[in-house]
């Protein structure tokens, strides 16, 4: 019995009929089993880790108090999200359960994600609202007044739909000004990024000389659910609106719809049409006001003139004839002296003109011209004679200088039988000791130049010429004549 039990518990070395799997076969068999067993599932839980890769895919953890399921959402599904997932958000997801053989783990492939009811979004909204309020982004001291009459209005909204048409129509009716529209998405995962870029882009126009910077901004969207309006609760949109140096009007949703951008905007409009009314005044009302002010000014001036007139009448001022009688008499006396003086002045100028005209007779002019011609001819003759004497004296000085130059010239010395010795470089040789044997030299004579070579021998001495013997005194000399 004991032997039988021992043999039963001992490992059997007999061959088994169980199928032998490879690692890949077993892993993919488990993958098919999980996918076929569960198929499409719907899971409710809290978001843990949320990572959006550069590829656009999102990796999240869905958890509760007892378990965690690693999940993935592909790029195409992420782009259709109306609410940006955040850690701690309670969500409901749909997808299929699968495995990842490369890491021996199961995962949920999500193709739809939504907050777990409005309560989850409201909780997240309150969390962000408290955060921004603690940073002072909602303080009234940060907000600025809108310009009374802007010349350019920037609108951030969808280019299609009733919102932009209502804004343009309302501005055109009230006070036509330039409107710049920055088209953006106002719903979906990419909407927040585009709205942020639009607000920052309008503010950056002031640094470019060719772009007109708006005087006021309107960020607008029509009504919708909290999910539809969620992009205006995103942190990047709220901070862009808070940092805008251009006064900003938020007009998101209907009057009862509040988003975080409404708290940081300088003005909040209940509707896009109301935002247009805030941006510009009514032109017709301004014209009526101007006309009313002009009429009131005219009436005020009339009353002022009447009061001044009554005041002047009550002051008992002298009559105008009495005031002007003295100046009139002085004017008459001045006119009486002025007319005779003008006549005397006229006669004096007339006499002077007659005297000058007598001097301008033809015979006087002819005589004057003759005298001037004679004087010019005399001056010319004297000038020519003076110039002749100057030239003659200069010629004599030139002749003397030429003779003096000729006397000092070395050419005369050469003509007397001397020669000028220079070396091959043209340098003048002054001493024979400076020349070497076999050195080439140039000899310059009065009639030209010849080459020579120094042979190193001394010059031969001149032979003495014997003089004829002198005749003795007693020697006979022939007759001279």
Report if residue 86 sits inside a domain: yes
> Lowest-pLDDT range, 216-220, 238-242, 250-254?
250-254
Share of the chain above pLDDT 70, in %: 90
Boundary of a domain, candidates 281, 297, 322: 281
Report if residue 294 sits inside a domain: no
171 and 260 fall within a common domain: yes
Boundary of a domain, candidates 281, 304, 333: 281
Report if residue 18 sits inside a domain: no
Residue 480 confidence (pLDDT) above 60: no
Residue 124 confidence (pLDDT) above 80: no
Residue 284 confidence (pLDDT) above 70: yes
pLDDT for the residue 117: 61
CA 26/CA 32 separation, integer angstroms: 10
**pLDDT (average), residues 442-454:** 86
Alpha-carbon distances of 443 from 427, 447, 450, rounded to whole Å: 12, 11, 5
In the DSSP assignment, the letter for residue 205 is G
pLDDT for the residue 7: 46
Residue 207 confidence (pLDDT) above 60: yes
* 363-377 per-position pLDDT tens digit: 777 888 888 888 888
CA 146/CA 327 separation, integer angstroms: 63
272 and 220 fall within a common domain: yes
CB burial of 192-211 (b: ≥16 within 10 Å; e: otherwise) equals bebbbebbeebbebeeeeee
Tokens of 157: 């909204």
175 and 104 fall within a common domain: no
**pLDDT (average), residues 254-258:** 80
CA 203/CA 104 separation, integer angstroms: 52
Tokens of 442: 């140039």
29 and 83 fall within a common domain: yes
pLDDT for the residue 468: 60
Q: Whole domain around residue 154: which residue ranges? A: 142-281
96 and 148 fall within a common domain: no
Report if residue 27 sits inside a domain: yes
Q: What is the CATH number of the domain that holds 195?
A: 3.40.50.261
Boundary of a domain, candidates 281, 310, 326: 281
Report if residue 253 sits inside a domain: yes
φ, ψ for residue 110, nearest 5 deg: -90, 135
pLDDT for the residue 301: 94
146 and 268 fall within a common domain: yes
> Lowest-pLDDT range, 72-81, 133-142, 351-360, 408-417?
408-417
Q: What is the CATH number of the domain that holds 72?
A: 2.40.50.140
151 and 212 fall within a common domain: yes
pLDDT for the residue 336: 87
pLDDT for the residue 413: 77
pLDDT for the residue 463: 53
Residue 226 confidence (pLDDT) above 70: yes
Q: How confident is the model at residue 267 (pLDDT cuts 50, 70, 90)?
A: very high
Report if residue 333 sits inside a domain: no
Helix axes 191-204, 235-243, angle to 10 degrees: 10
Report if residue 354 sits inside a domain: no
In the predicted model, what is the mean pLDDT of the chain? 83
pLDDT for the residue 304: 92
pLDDT for the residue 300: 93
67 and 186 fall within a common domain: no
Residue 328 confidence (pLDDT) above 70: yes
pLDDT for the residue 1: 44
pLDDT for the residue 160: 87
Domain total for the chain?
3
Q: How confident is the model at residue 272 (pLDDT cuts 50, 70, 90)?
A: very high
Residue 37 confidence (pLDDT) above 60: yes
**pLDDT (average), residues 55-81:** 85
Residue 3 confidence (pLDDT) above 60: no
The residues near 294 (Cβ < 8 Å, ≥ 6 apart) are none
Closest CA to 244 of 273, 266, 262, 226: 266
154 and 48 fall within a common domain: no
Q: How confident is the model at residue 75 (pLDDT cuts 50, 70, 90)?
A: confident
176 and 249 fall within a common domain: yes
Report if residue 442 sits inside a domain: yes
CA 260/CA 239 separation, integer angstroms: 10
pLDDT for the residue 4: 44
Of residues 444 and 406, more confidence is placed in 444
Full-model pTM: 0.47
pLDDT for the residue 206: 76
**pLDDT (average), residues 28-37:** 77
pLDDT for the residue 466: 56
**pLDDT (average), residues 284-311:** 90
155 and 111 fall within a common domain: no
Closest CA to 276 of 205, 217, 327, 234: 217
Residue 240 confidence (pLDDT) above 60: yes
110 and 213 fall within a common domain: no
CA 250/CA 221 separation, integer angstroms: 9
């Amino acid at each position: 019995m004991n032997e039988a039990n021992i043999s039963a518990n001992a490992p059997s070395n007999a061959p088994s009929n169980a199928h032998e799997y490879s690692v890949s076969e077993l892993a993919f068999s488990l993958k098919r089993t999980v996918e076929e067993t569960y198929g499409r599932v719907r899971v409710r839980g809290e978001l843990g880790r949320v990572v959006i890769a550069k590829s656009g895919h999102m990796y999240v953890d869905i958890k509760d108090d007892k378990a965690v399921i690693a999940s993935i959402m592909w790029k195409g599904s992420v782009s259709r999200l109306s609410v940006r997932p955040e850690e701690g958000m309670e969500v409901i997801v749909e997808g299929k359960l699968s495995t990842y053989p490369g890491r021996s783990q199961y995962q949920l492939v999500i193709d739809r994600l939504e907050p777990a009811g409005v309560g989850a979004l409201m909780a997240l909204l309150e969390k962000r609202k408290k955060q921004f309020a603690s940073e002072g982004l909602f303080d009234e001291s940060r907000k600025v007044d809108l310009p009374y009459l802007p010349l350019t209005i920037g609108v951030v909204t969808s280019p299609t739909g009733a919102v932009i048409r209502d804004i343009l129509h309302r501005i055109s009716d009230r006070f036509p000004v330039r409107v710049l529209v920055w088209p953006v998405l106002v719903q979906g995962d990419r909407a927040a990024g585009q709205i942020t870029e639009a607000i920052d882009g309008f503010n950056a126009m002031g640094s470019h000389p060719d772009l007109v910077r708006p005087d006021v901004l309107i960020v607008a969207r029509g009504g919708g659910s909290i999910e539809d309006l969620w992009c205006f609760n995103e942190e990047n949109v709220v901070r862009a609106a808070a940092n805008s140096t251009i006064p900003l009007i938020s007009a998101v949703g209907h009057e009862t719809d509040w988003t975080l951008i409404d708290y940081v905007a300088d003005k909040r409009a209940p509707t896009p049409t109301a935002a247009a009314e805030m941006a510009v005044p009514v032109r017709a009302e301004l014209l009526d006001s101007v006309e009313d002010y002009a009429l009131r000014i005219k009436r005020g001036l009339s009353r002022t003139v009447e009061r001044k007139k009554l005041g002047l009448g009550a002051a008992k001022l002298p009559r105008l004839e009495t005031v002007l009688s003295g100046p009139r008499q002085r004017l008459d006396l001045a006119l009486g002296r002025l007319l005779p003086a003008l006549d005397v002045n006229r006669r004096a100028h007339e006499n002077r003109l007659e005297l000058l005209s007598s001097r301008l007779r033809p015979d006087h002019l002819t005589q004057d011209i003759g005298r001037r011609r004679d004087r010019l001819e005399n001056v010319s003759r004297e000038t020519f004679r003076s110039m002749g004497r100057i030239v003659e004296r200069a010629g004599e000085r030139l002749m003397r200088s030429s003779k003096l130059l000729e006397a000092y010239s070395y050419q005369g010395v050469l003509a007397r039988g001397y020669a000028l010795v220079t070396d091959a470089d043209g340098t003048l040789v002054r001493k024979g000791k400076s020349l070497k044997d076999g050195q080439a030299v140039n000899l310059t004579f009065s009639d030209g130049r010849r080459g020579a070579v120094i042979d190193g021998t001394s010059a031969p001495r001149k032979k003495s010429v014997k003089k004829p013997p002198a005749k003795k005194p007693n020697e006979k000399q022939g007759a001279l004549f």
